[in-house]
Structure 1
Amino acid sequence: MKRLTLLFLLTLLAAVVSAQAPAPKNAELPAYPSPEGVWVVLAKNRPEPGPGTLLGARLLRAAAGSNDFREVAVLRAATSLAELRELAGQATIDALRAGLRLPSDEAVWTFVESHPNLDSYGVHGLSMNLRRALGTVMLDASAAQATPGTRYIYRLAPASGFKPEKAAAAAIKPLEKTVEIGRRSSLPRPRARRSLGRDSSVVVRWAARVQPGASTVFGRVYRQGPGEKSFALLPGRLLVRQVRDSAFFVLEQRVEPEAMYRYYLEPLDFVGNPGPASDTAYVLSVTPGRMPLVQRATAHDTTTGIVLRWPALPRKAYLAGIEIQRSRDARGNYVRLDTIPATATSYLDTRLLPNIGYHYRLRALLPKGIPTPGTTSATAFASHQPGTMAALLAPVALTAEPEGKGVRLRWQPAAPDLTHDAYYVYRGTSAQDSLVVVSPPLRGNVLTFLDTTARNGRREYVYAVRDANQNMQLSPFSALAAARPNRAMPVTAPLGVSAYAAGSAVQLTWDDARRDPAVVAYRLYRRAASATAAASPARASDFTRLATDLVSPAYTDAAAKAGQTYQYAVAAVDAQGNESPLSPVMVVRVTGAPLVPPGQLVARPVATGLEVSWSRPAVAPAKGYALYRRQRDQPTAQRVATLTAAQTRYLDQTAKPGTLYIYSLSALTPTAESARTPEISARR
């Protein structure tokens, strides 16, 4: 029995399967790099103390290519509450106490002491810190301080003083694995699926395809709320739910009512390595059944068309407009006639045929043109007869200037008009743009209006005013006036940054943020990679600006140096020079292109010696060239000249007449020399 126990230990420590079969040739140590260091997973349940136990097994580490192994961790299990705090951390104890509904930390330790099986802990069994306290994993925390791209060899060794039997020890092949620190996870990119908002809560769902060898376990969520300039990491993590070949994440959160929120998700593998971020989900925290509806709409015929009127909608920031639909059949077949501002309370339909009855349907719109549930309709019979009243004159002396966070309009009537009913203020974004009504009917002697719905402080708005008489006839537009409101406008950070090394250059792309019309260019930032990625959003002051005024969402960094690891981030810039927060950081290691010698080496005799020439390469070597020469009876060539990168020929004046010389050429960098060209010969 003791022999079987010893063989079982050797199987885990040295990849020996049993006394009847040799160890697999390709057995690897289950070691996984992560932001906390390198985790090594050895067992599912806590090892029992005694002969043949795993406890005390040692983790050895050496630099890649070296055999200088040093101990970096020892497998141990907590034997007291104090050791549980040391190995698992107080945060893990608090989570177990809340999840298992235990009254105290001592009760948590009693539970851990009597439950060695991870299955007893439910979702908490995914915690690497808990598994460390149970003695099923080891952590090399010092690897977290290594430079990204560093490669280590890990080896599992028995506990100090463990002496296996000679027959078993002879079959041992140590478990080893080479890992690279800082490599980006190959997890699939999630996509936002369905989002639902209610008065005080939101539900957001993401989905991703399951790929072989890439196991998504968690997701961390970033949110941007109303008035916030950038995304912030939410506390806690989402647990993935896998159904066949798809992985799903669901976020449920309490939020402020009647506000717009933006979310994106970053997937994590089981040791915490992040994958590519998802696209952005937009959620409005309003219960659909409680959204305002257009009610009590009426329609009546006038000399200029059919006039629709309705009570004003409540002023809600999430209402984007009112959609007017029309049909000749009350049973259906409605088509969209127009979309007007949410502040409007009337509409004049002039696109009519005589003696035709029209049915209308009106509904409020949310951002992105999403309709609110529910509609209200009104019908009217139109028999349009053109009016005989004198044409109205356009208002005059229109001015526009910023006031507070809005734009103040003032104007004067062109002439006294006894039939005057109201003025209407129109707004657009340019003289060529279509103007839309932004004011309610301004009745009586009102000759001013404050537009508080002009919310883009980077845009200059164009205004005009029209006069309406009691028959709903409208005057021509007044002369235009323009103004820009005094509103500070944040610029949204670009997302979807990706990068890869192409030889000694780095190719970068990102999602085009110019769907926001205010974004006119990008700025690219770079810095040498630190040991770990920053936990908080990156700041431009921590980087060196690499490029400015980029119009296209792509860039080639030809100044990158081979063998270096860089972090890149992108910012968007508006027309006023305001810069967005930086995008999520992308880490790239530049491997560099191989150093090759020049081609087409030629040697010929000239009057003063032997001339050696070669073709200029597409990329000149950093330092230059080395020219080698030997005679036929000399086995080894000697360097006769070190040349600059600009040279393509050399005159060997030391060559003796009648002697055959053999030449070869290599390329040089400050730290390396390429292979030599094939040898060529010439006789002076």
Structure 2
Amino acid sequence: MRTLLTLSLTALLGLGSVLAQPANKLLVLGLGQKSSVLLRLPILPAGLPDAGYVVKRSGAGGTQTFTVKPLNKLEAVGKYKLDPDDYDLTVGALAALNDDKLSADERGFLLLNLLSTVSNPNLARALGLIFEDSNLAAGSYSYSVTAGTQNLGTVTAQVGKDVPLSAPNALKVSPATRQAALTWPRGDDLVVSYRVQRALGSGDFANLTESPQLSNRGEAPKFGDTKLDSKQSYRYRVTALDVFGRESAPSNVVTLEARLAFPISVPLITTVKNNQNQVELGWDKVTDAGIKEITVLRGDRPGKLAPLTKLPPGATTYTDKSAPPASPRYYALQVSDGSRQSDPSPERVGRAYNETPPSAPKALKAEGSETAIALSWAANAEKDIDGYNVYRAEIGVSGNAPVVLLNGEPIKTPVFKDAIPQGIESQFKYTVKAVNTSGVEGEASSAVLAELTDKTPPQAPLLIHAQSAAGKVAIIFTLAPTPDLKEYEIYRAAQNETEPVKVATLPPDSLGYLDSKVRGGVQYSYAVVAVDLRGNRSNASNVLSAEPPTQKLSAPAGLRAVLGKDQVSLSWTDSQDALAYYVFRWEGQRRVQIAGPLIKPQYAEAARKGARYSVQAVDAAGTAGPMSAAVDAK
């Protein structure tokens, strides 16, 4: 039974009669030439017939019968110059086909080995698969072929002229990866294989392989020559072989420069020198004479490189003066021969540096809030600024205040927020320094001072005691510890007054206040307000009241009457509990009120020589006290 592999192999060759066929489909092929006929005989399903093929010819000159058998090994090797191993392998495979116990896979393997009988005309002749009937006169001849009892078929051939096998045409060659890729159109359907020949330069052609290359009918023929020397030039041509063993004339000749099949050798970057604001690259000199230019590639990420510059093929160094300082840059080389470009060389990384310190940042500003101090400044103009460092020193700290770096990594934008615990009353001094991408820090900016904005008032004081005595009231108060306390304000309201009046401002270490400007019999109410250094005022304390005792008025003391040119000026000592004063002038034994009530202890009237005066005090209740001693104006 015909196997799938058998069908595949016959399709590969394009011939239904060459390999083993079912008996009812065996074909004999015939080709008439000028004076002979070539017959191609089929392989039987069981191999070669034991008694050989019987060929009966009829035509001009009558009938003649031939028996075609394989040559023995010695004859085959001697006559057709065959490899003995090839002969043994083929004969063994043909004999094994007669084994009925062969599996489909085993039979397919044997048929695969028999492909050489198809592609090698001399081996086919030695096995009796190609028969030549020669020395024939021109005319038509008929051949019938049998094998034992099997009729293998009849063919007719016309003798009288040679019909040469057409040479392959349109042969093309192109460079592939380390090989020459040959392609050409398929020719005659009887073609089963091709010989590929190569010549070095202008030398002679020679076969590239020992055996012809089989042809797959379903595809255009092709061949890859991998035995190339990149320094050589090669010429190629192809001949076709058909089932009768005929070989065509050579095809057209094509030429390939072998170097085109090899990747262009690119030099490796051997040295990378990082310098001030530049990176210097070095590599070995290009030895390939076909190289036309060198391209330097650069990128800021691996695998993302773009052309930076083109150099002549003799260049061995390049200095990149546009490399951003301290930023890694990746470099590679490419070379070109004018028509092709190499792959990039392995990448090398370079990093230029800049040791020149950046300029000092300008326009530094600081603005405090309740919990932080916000800084801002003008960005530096240098292109390689990596960021900024912010420094702070606390003002008012005993000794030398330490300068503290506030950030870890350089700040990328020209703003910074310094968070400070609420309630800190210190003032701070800030400076900023720029840092370039090489890590070099520049000069400090001008310093600015700032402090937190304190909007939190102190706690309200606690008024704990108010005590009165004759002509005075003492109050005592307290306050929780307040570091930024500036002062206390004492407020007092006398009896029947609606608005309190500030009567004193005390330092922050005060614990009490003595009010001596009071009058007996009047109730006074007191409250205390705390004020911090930022002017924040506390709520008023609780209110305490006290009333000094009422005192009996005494006669005003120290009365004087000074006689001037135009007036008499009276003055006396102010009494503690006096609300007002009345002035009297004596006329004989009788006194006359001439002024009052007076608030201040003084009075003046027109000059009266020899006049006598007295003064009487009145308290808040309207009670008059004793009269002072009388004095004369003088």
TM over 0.5: no
Specify the TM-score bucket, using the shorter chain as the normaliser.
Answer: 0.3 to 0.5
Query: Which is strand-richer, 1 or 2?
Result: 2
The two structures have a TM-score, normalised by structure 1, of 0.35
Structure label with greater radius of gyration: 2
